[in-house]
Structure 1
């Protein structure tokens, strides 16, 4: 999230000048950034159902990609763009329903606290092209993100 902000001058400037926009930015970045492998836990069909022309039989496991849902053009026009003024359904980075993640409030609070307290002076201390990314991990991100403030 911090890398995305520090490499997007327009977004960073906006959040520095309008801290009230931080919660909307956190939600949009949660929608835009793929987390983990993009699929939640398997759901088991309790009855035969057809979805998108595909029959799912009772007892079969179904995996739903929340990344695909968060980038569904029918819900989020221009999903490849970060747009903190975007309207539409809530993002699904934490899942939905009875099996959703238990920690979204804590994650949001942490992100908002970081952005409101550190973002005003935070700067990337290296060229964005020099940032090395983790591979083969559950949560995608830089190995290290050198910053100054």
Structure 2
């Protein structure tokens, strides 16, 4: 009778330990961690990023009761992709200024790159084997 009680209590303890350990989550140290920005102003450099889905819809709504701007990102029929985030008027104006500066610099870089492309000098090799292997008989420097 005592052996049966021991086995029963041992089994009960074992099941309890298994149940408790099943809820514990392992902490993973990823070699390329992915950060999920909780704020549109946050921009962490990602080592591995697949980008946002193509059907992602971003919206900004002003809430006059709180005086905050609410940023939403939804997919499809209004399914939240990330939690909405809020900004005060001052933060929102600063965010918009940084965003416009970034876009301005990107446009300037693209214009400079497009202007510099016209100075590429094509060199004709004139070899049929070269053309068959590389798809063209020109080398652009």
Structure having the higher Rg: 2
TM-score, with normalisation over the residues of structure 1? Answer: 0.21
Q: Which has the higher contact order (CA 8 A, sep 6+)?
A: 1
TM-score, with normalisation over the residues of structure 2? Answer: 0.21
